[in-house]
Amino acid sequence: MDATKGAGCDEQVVDLMTPIVEQELQTGHPLLATVMPAQVLERQGRLDEAVQALQRNLGTGNSVSVNVVEELAQLLARHERLQDLEELTKRSYGQYAVGKLIGKLEELGLTDAAFAVARRAAADHPMRGPAHLADLLVRHGRPDEALEAAGPLLADRDCGCYEQGPLMKLVERGHLDTACDLLAELASRPPQLADDEDGRMHLAEWEEKLARLRVWLLSETGRADESIAILEGLTDDEFYLRRETLAGVLENQGRPDEAIAVRLDREPGSYELGDLLIR
C-alpha cells in the first residue's frame, strides 16, 4: 500500500485487490478485505465511500471485528468527523473507538468535551471505560481522581490487564506514590475464580502479572533492590523470562558483572549476553 501511495495508480491497485477482497469476504476474514480498500478510497479523497466500506463490515451482534472498528475510528478522527465518531462510541462495541474520540477532542483543545466522553465511557463500558477516564485525569494532572476512577477496573476482572495503562501513565507523569497506591489496591483484590484447574491457572497468570507490574514499578521508583529481591525469590516457572528480566534490572543498576553471571547461568550463547560483554 505505501509503495503505491502517490504513484497515481490507485485504480490499478483496486483492480488487483478485488479478487483478494472477494476471497477474504467469502472465508469470513473481513479485515484485509475491508481495511485496504478503505485506505485506497481515503487517499483518493472518497471519504464517504471509505467510511461506508468499513461500516458494512463491522460485524453483527456479538461478532464484531475490533480491528475494523478501530480502523473506522482512526479514519473518522483523522478527518475530524466528530459527530460520526461519537455515534460510533455509543454502539455496543464503542469501547474500541472511544479512545480515538477522547484523543481527538484533546488535540482540538475541547477538554471539557473529552472529559464528558470519558465519563460516559466509564459508565457504559466498565471493562475498558474507566481506564480511558483514569488516563485522561492523569494527563491533566489529577492523579488522586485518576486513582478513584480506576477503582472499577479492580472488580470483575481476571488478569489486571486494564490497570497497566493507568499505572504507566501515572509513572510517566511522575505520580509515583499514586501509582504505588493503585498497585497496592490491585494486589489487595485478587480475582474471584472457580476452584478448579482452569481457575487455578488463571490465578497463577494473575499473580505473575502482578509480580511483573510490581518489579517494573519498583525499578521505576528507585527501589531496584526490592525488585531484584522479588525476582530472586521466584522460579522460572512462576515468572516468564525471569532471568532475562533480572539481568536487565541489574544492568540498569550498573551491575554488569552480576547481569552477565545471571545470563551465563542459563543461556551462554545469547545475543543479549554478547551485547553485555562488549559494552
**Per-residue pLDDT reduced to its tens digit, 223-265:** 999 999 999 888 888 888 888 888 888 888 888 888 888 887 7
Q: pTM of the entire structure?
A: 0.67
In the block, residue with C-alpha cell 482452569: 198
Spatial separation of the C-alpha atoms in residues 263 and 14, rounded to whole Å: 51
* Torsion, Cα of 109, 110, 112, 118 (10° steps): -110
Spatial separation of the C-alpha atoms in residues 114 and 128, rounded to whole Å: 16
Q: What SS3 state is found at 252?
A: helix
**Which contiguous run of DSSP H or E holds residue 60?**
strand 59-60
Tell me what pLDDT residue 185 has.
Answer: 83
**Per-residue pLDDT reduced to its tens digit, 120-137:** 999 988 878 888 999 999
Instruction: Find the helix packing angle between 111-124 and 129-139, rounded to 10°.
Output: 150
Contacts of 44 (CB under 8 A, 6+ apart): 10
CA 94 from chain centre, in angstroms, equals: 16
Tell me what pLDDT residue 3 has.
Answer: 42
First vs last Cα of the chain: how many Å apart? 40
The most confident of the ranges 80-84, 210-214, 235-239 is: 80-84
Asked if the model's pLDDT at residue 175 lies above 80, the reply is yes
Torsion region of 196: left, alpha or beta (phi above 0 gives left; psi -120 to 50 gives alpha): beta
Tell me what pLDDT residue 190 has.
Answer: 77
Alpha helices in 27-63, H assignment, sequence order: 30-43, 47-56
Tell me what pLDDT residue 145 has.
Answer: 92
Is the Cβ–Cβ distance between 65 and 44 less than 8 Å? no
Question: Residue 201: what residue type?
Answer: M
Q: What SS3 state is found at 19?
A: helix
